[in-house]
Structure 1
């Protein structure tokens, strides 16, 4: 009996009475296979859609469930994934992948006829799953109160998920079979991969049965495969297989099938086998503890694949593959202490991904990303970057509304970059024959990842002459999407820069020094072998350290793009002050993003507004130190900053950073007549700074934080203010006789440190309590000073004595 069967009745009760239910069940419990089929057979729901995060798992689950019924996929159990749809009027249980469910919801927000949505393995928290769940919840609340949602996984942050979904939790405890854990400590973490072959040999020698080895990617799979070649040659009862999402169906099925009788299988896999997948005969897992994850670089706009440690929950999922059919064992690379220090759960994709696809989906849905029911909220920086990309692709307008083209691209169900490129290519086809077909070849090359040259024109021609199997499969798919025939003949390779610009307008680069500057403003490194003499580069693939390494590109001339895609370029009159020459540059510029394509002297005199903006830009670059009078204004700036700190309800922030942010409002009016740099430097900065305060605020500032204080002798002594610490008043002791208490500033909120000086202006005493000083330490000072300065007045009762700034004979 499967563990899930023990809680089936409770789950059905909750599912049929509650709109949302959370199910936590360990690997092997039967939640992905037995449960959906039983719900269908028992007739609790008319039509069920179950979302699986991976195509391989979706295909195998659909095949397994259909086989349980003695049917083919497409009858009562259907499948809907990319490049493969098998459903019919008889279908009651449909297995779909994440993007597919989002498209179903977009096409029919009510999901007519569907009464249960199951989100399997939700702990993976892909961006597509978060999107689909957000749409499903909104549909449920606004349109379909009879639609039920079941969210399930082996490893969930259940309390947090329950609070988010406001739903009951059903928990299935226990695993089908026990799993022994063996830890293999590491001395050098950087050389972790070298330990995997030895771990596999150790497992082969110590255990019986087949082995599943988890590795981050294809490179590591090849390394381990090569390292184990001698082991497999020496043991004829061993067979090696590899499993990844990049393989075709036949190769994947060969890896999943059980080993022949008398044989043991070692399957080297990526995390594609982590969830919802049973590989017959596997009772040993060797876990590297690593995975390849995409992290979005906000600076370059590139999603970089990085190798990182998995979370504890992912490790539990991987180990669960060993206990699906009998008692198993997991060999974990690293110590148990290191394992326990890992994060509890993997970071959600929505926090480290390009959100342009999500933003487009939300806008077509009729919402904003910030309005969706999301478990984790993305950052403002992510949203801003996504917005900029969608604008550059013409998918939203200047008012952030989705365009007609945006809706067409969304309906394709493709990445916004690829969708835009294909649809625009069709529009350009009449003037650029063959560009749509070239676009299909381009996407197929990138998605199949079989390129052997960084120069895209060479890589494409190589696939034309000798296509790789993975490339052929992708090309066939994209040609169908573009409604093109598998035509032979020459590729219109001359249009390649236009194709790249349609998909990656932010990666059009201009040479800058030893590297390149992208249209989005980020800098990237030069390639060691290619494009050494080029001035402009259309880049398709970036990554590596800090996202600055060019993986594939081709050179181009801007005039080609200016003719084909004029919307990418902006024209403007620019006025800048060039410090090197000390002259204004007044130009008409044609720019592509952050770099200049063409520049020529602007017609007519310099516009006052442009010149003012140029001065403001210069001041922002150099700060207030550019003004000759800055030193004389430091005291005013300190006083204004203190006023804001002590009286925030009366004064706004007046630190230099805040002032530079709003230069237009307070400095701009003083710049209309400034035409030369020397004039700017002589500007009355003090008056300009005071203009940031209303007259009443200026009076209040002088009352709270006066520049000077009149002491009993009649002298006006300057106060030294500081941002951290008390105000300082340096004054000769004779001038404050008769002062019974220390001065008070800011209604007592700012203490005053009095530095009492000798007749020769040397420090005698520091005090914040003058009354206490007169009554205590003054006697010692008096005794010493009478002998040193006999001509000066040293009274016995300084608190009531007459103050003076003269010697005794002239008092």
Structure 2
């Protein structure tokens, strides 16, 4: 009996009485197979759509469930993945991949006839799954209160998800079969891959059955495969990864032949919702290839990193699907326990331009969507800039008809933009559309290629790599095009510019300046030395290494990409020359294409822009030292931080990044000397309204009145307590330390001698009077006999005079 069968009735009751539920069930519990099939067979729901994060798992689950029905895929059990749709009027359970579900929701927000959505393996937290769930929740709230949503995983962050979505958790205890754990400590972390072949051989010698070996990517798979040539004839080695064709994938998944054992070297595609008969050994490298988005360059680079504990549990679960199993983990148990509990969600580590565009099409802002982990403002800013370059949104950030068309294309939005525009241009530029198809196939195949895109395309055209050939056949069929004998590569730079407008680059020193403002370096294999290049592939450790590009001339892009070019006047102050630089410029993003002395006279507004630009580079160090202004800025920053409900966000970095608050005060400043002397306190005050300024003086006063009647200055700092330096006699009678910012900011009292030398530092004045004061009193009576040193300072008269004048 599968573990999920024990909780089936409880889950069904929960779903019938709640709009949403979470199912936490271990690998092998039957949640991806038995559960949806039983829900369909018993007719509790008219039509069920189950989302699977990976195409391989989706296809195999659909085939398995259809076989359980003695049917083919497309009858009661359907499948919808990119390039493959098998559904019919009799389909009651449809297995789909993430992008497909988003398209279904965008095309039919009511999800007509669907009454249960299942998100399988939700722990993977892909950006597409987060998007589809956010839309489904809006559909449920606004259009379909009868729609049910079920999230499933072995390793959900259950309590957090339950609280966020306000829904119950159903847990299935125990796995189908027990799994033993073996930890193999590493001698040298940097050479972990060298230890894998020996570990596989050890596992095969100690255990019966076949083995599933988890590695980060194809490169590691090929290297390990070459190291297993000496296995005996009874062991067959297979590889399994996402870019393989169906025939190779099915060979890897199929049961071992009679009398044979198999070793399957795989990536994360086999981590979830996949059963390979005969597998009872898992060898886990503990590594994965993950997307790491570089906000500066706009490049998503795949990096090798350690997996989380939840991923390790998922991987181990593959060993206990059919019988008791064992997992061999590379690394010590202590290393395993130090790993993060869950992998970072993709929405925080990826380019969110597709998500932002989907939200525009849906008619909602990202802030309005129920996203477990909202992207940062920086991510949104970067994505917005890219979507404008791709003409998907206009200058007012509204969705354009082209943007809608790009979403419906079912491809990466960059390539969608290129393909749509190439089709429109083909009548004037014959051959550009077929060239776009070949370029798309080249970029999507992810094969090793020469740095020169011209050379790369010609090379694949004459001697195609199998993966390129597979991609080319798909795209030619999709675009309804036929192969050609000759490619019109003179259009190549325009196509790259259409797909990657942010990566148009101009020579700068030994590298290049990109249109998005980032810098790029050339890889060692890159021999281009052109003034301008259009970059199709870049990445590397810092995301700034150029791997594949083509030369271009800005004039080649004037007609088709005119929106990328802007004419503007630049006014900057050159400190070395001691004068203003006033130029009329033609810009391509951050790149200056042409520049000449401005024909317009230098006016106040241009001069102010120059001063603001100088301030953005130097910050507050631009001005002469101003202790009072600095204290005001610190107080305002503290108010913003400690009392956010009463004060707007304000800090040094924000004020420098957005300096418009300063602009109205610079109109009459004509030279650098005047600017350095400028007192910026009034300008900063303008960031708070009159009421907020009054509250600032109330909660974080510049001075405090002490019992002697003196107004003593408080010194503030951004980190740490505020400080009040005052002579001890002036605070007699004060029984407690004053409170600042409603008690949220500590006050450090520096009690001074009559000669204003430090005697004591305290944040608890009442305790000081009762304890350490006695020792201070003894010493001070001898040193300053004319001054008042009472035995009970907490209840004595404060004074700023000697005893004879009190």
- Cα deviation digits, residues 644-696 of structure 1 (max 9, x gap): 8699999999987677567654564444361x445545667799889999999
Q: Flag the 1:764–1:200 CA change in 2: closer, same or farther, 3 A.
A: closer
| Local SS of the residue matching 1:49 | strand
User: Match for residue 174 of structure 1?
Assistant: 174
User: Match for residue 331 of structure 2?
Assistant: 334
Counterpart pick for 2:489 among 490, 493, 498:
493
Partners of 1:644 and 1:65 lie apart in 2 by 60
Q: Flag the 1:300–1:743 CA change in 2: closer, same or farther, 3 A.
A: farther
User: Match for residue 596 of structure 1?
Assistant: 592
User: Match for residue 743 of structure 2?
Assistant: none
The CA deviation at 1:223 is 1.2
Whether the 8 Å contact between 1:274 and 1:317 is mirrored in structure 2 is: yes
User: Match for residue 85 of structure 1?
Assistant: 85
Partners of 1:573 and 1:339 lie apart in 2 by 57
Whether the 8 Å contact between 1:590 and 1:596 is mirrored in structure 2 is: yes
- Cα deviation digits, residues 444-485 of structure 1 (max 9, x gap): 111111232122111111111111222122123223443x42
User: Match for residue 521 of structure 2?
Assistant: 525
Matched, 1:294 2:303: no
Counterpart pick for 2:574 among 565, 571, 578:
578
Q: Flag the 1:387–1:173 CA change in 2: closer, same or farther, 3 A.
A: same
User: Match for residue 100 of structure 1?
Assistant: 100
- Cα deviation digits, residues 370-420 of structure 1 (max 9, x gap): 211222222222222222211221111222221111111111122221111
Structure 1 stretches of 5 or more lacking a match?
A: 731-735, 758-762, 785-796, 804-811
User: Match for residue 799 of structure 1?
Assistant: 802
| Local SS of the residue matching 2:558 | helix
User: Match for residue 501 of structure 2?
Assistant: 505
| Local SS of the residue matching 1:195 | helix
Whether the 8 Å contact between 1:756 and 1:765 is mirrored in structure 2 is: no
Counterpart pick for 2:358 among 353, 357, 361:
361
Matched, 1:247 2:247: no
Whether the 8 Å contact between 1:451 and 1:459 is mirrored in structure 2 is: no
Counterpart pick for 1:279 among 276, 280, 285:
276
Whether the 8 Å contact between 1:417 and 1:503 is mirrored in structure 2 is: yes
User: Match for residue 544 of structure 2?
Assistant: 548
1:598-677 to 2 correspondence within 5 Å? Answer: 598-626=594-622, 630-631=624-625, 633-635=626-628, 637-638=630-631, 641=634, 664-665=660-661, 668-672=664-668, 674=670, 676-677=671-672
User: Match for residue 791 of structure 1?
Assistant: none
Q: Flag the 1:727–1:314 CA change in 2: closer, same or farther, 3 A.
A: closer
The CA deviation at 1:103 is 0.7
User: Match for residue 43 of structure 2?
Assistant: 43
Q: Flag the 1:653–1:36 CA change in 2: closer, same or farther, 3 A.
A: closer
Q: Flag the 1:241–1:720 CA change in 2: closer, same or farther, 3 A.
A: closer
| Local SS of the residue matching 2:21 | strand
The CA deviation at 1:705 is 5.9
Whether the 8 Å contact between 1:740 and 1:800 is mirrored in structure 2 is: no
Partners of 1:743 and 1:601 lie apart in 2 by 71
Whether the 8 Å contact between 1:292 and 1:308 is mirrored in structure 2 is: yes
1:352-431 to 2 correspondence within 5 Å? Answer: 352-431=349-428
Whether the 8 Å contact between 2:519 and 2:544 is mirrored in structure 1 is: yes
Whether the 8 Å contact between 1:22 and 1:150 is mirrored in structure 2 is: yes
Partners of 1:62 and 1:646 lie apart in 2 by 58
User: Match for residue 233 of structure 2?
Assistant: 236
Partners of 2:757 and 2:96 lie apart in 1 by 85
Partners of 2:649 and 2:278 lie apart in 1 by 69
Partners of 1:33 and 1:640 lie apart in 2 by 61
Larger Rg: 1
Q: Flag the 1:238–1:655 CA change in 2: closer, same or farther, 3 A.
A: closer
- Cα deviation digits, residues 74-108 of structure 1 (max 9, x gap): 22222111111112222222211111111111111
Q: Flag the 1:644–1:620 CA change in 2: closer, same or farther, 3 A.
A: closer
User: Match for residue 470 of structure 1?
Assistant: 467
Q: Flag the 1:799–1:333 CA change in 2: closer, same or farther, 3 A.
A: same
| Local SS of the residue matching 1:421 | helix
Whether the 8 Å contact between 2:751 and 2:758 is mirrored in structure 1 is: no
| Local SS of the residue matching 1:537 | strand
Q: Flag the 1:278–1:613 CA change in 2: closer, same or farther, 3 A.
A: same
Q: Flag the 1:802–1:328 CA change in 2: closer, same or farther, 3 A.
A: closer
Whether the 8 Å contact between 2:46 and 2:115 is mirrored in structure 1 is: yes
Partners of 1:292 and 1:653 lie apart in 2 by 38
Taking structure 2 as the reference length, the TM-score comes to: 0.86
Q: Flag the 1:573–1:330 CA change in 2: closer, same or farther, 3 A.
A: same
| Local SS of the residue matching 1:517 | strand
Whether the 8 Å contact between 2:669 and 2:675 is mirrored in structure 1 is: no
Matched, 1:204 2:204: yes
Partners of 2:752 and 2:177 lie apart in 1 by 79
Counterpart pick for 2:512 among 510, 516, 527:
516
Partners of 2:652 and 2:13 lie apart in 1 by 64
User: Match for residue 537 of structure 1?
Assistant: 533
Bigger shift: residues 336-345 or 647-656: 647-656
Partners of 2:227 and 2:311 lie apart in 1 by 26
The CA deviation at 1:45 is 2.2
Bigger shift: residues 346-355 or 617-626: 617-626
Whether the 8 Å contact between 2:637 and 2:651 is mirrored in structure 1 is: no
Partners of 1:654 and 1:8 lie apart in 2 by 53
Partners of 2:753 and 2:648 lie apart in 1 by 31
Whether the 8 Å contact between 2:572 and 2:580 is mirrored in structure 1 is: yes
Matched, 1:560 2:563: no
- Cα deviation digits, residues 560-614 of structure 1 (max 9, x gap): 1234311111111111112232222111111111121111121131122101211
The CA deviation at 1:163 is 2.7
Q: Flag the 1:68–1:584 CA change in 2: closer, same or farther, 3 A.
A: same
User: Match for residue 789 of structure 1?
Assistant: none
| Aligned-residue CA RMSD (Å) | 3.9
User: Match for residue 144 of structure 2?
Assistant: 144
Taking structure 1 as the reference length, the TM-score comes to: 0.85
Partners of 1:71 and 1:645 lie apart in 2 by 68
Counterpart pick for 2:343 among 346, 349, 353:
346
User: Match for residue 61 of structure 1?
Assistant: 61
User: Match for residue 264 of structure 2?
Assistant: 267
| Local SS of the residue matching 2:312 | helix
The CA deviation at 1:617 is 2.0
Partners of 1:740 and 1:572 lie apart in 2 by 62
Partners of 2:586 and 2:689 lie apart in 1 by 42
Partners of 2:574 and 2:529 lie apart in 1 by 28
- Cα deviation digits, residues 498-539 of structure 1 (max 9, x gap): 111111111112222222222111222222232442222211
Q: Flag the 1:336–1:609 CA change in 2: closer, same or farther, 3 A.
A: same
Q: How many residues align?
A: 766
User: Match for residue 217 of structure 1?
Assistant: 217
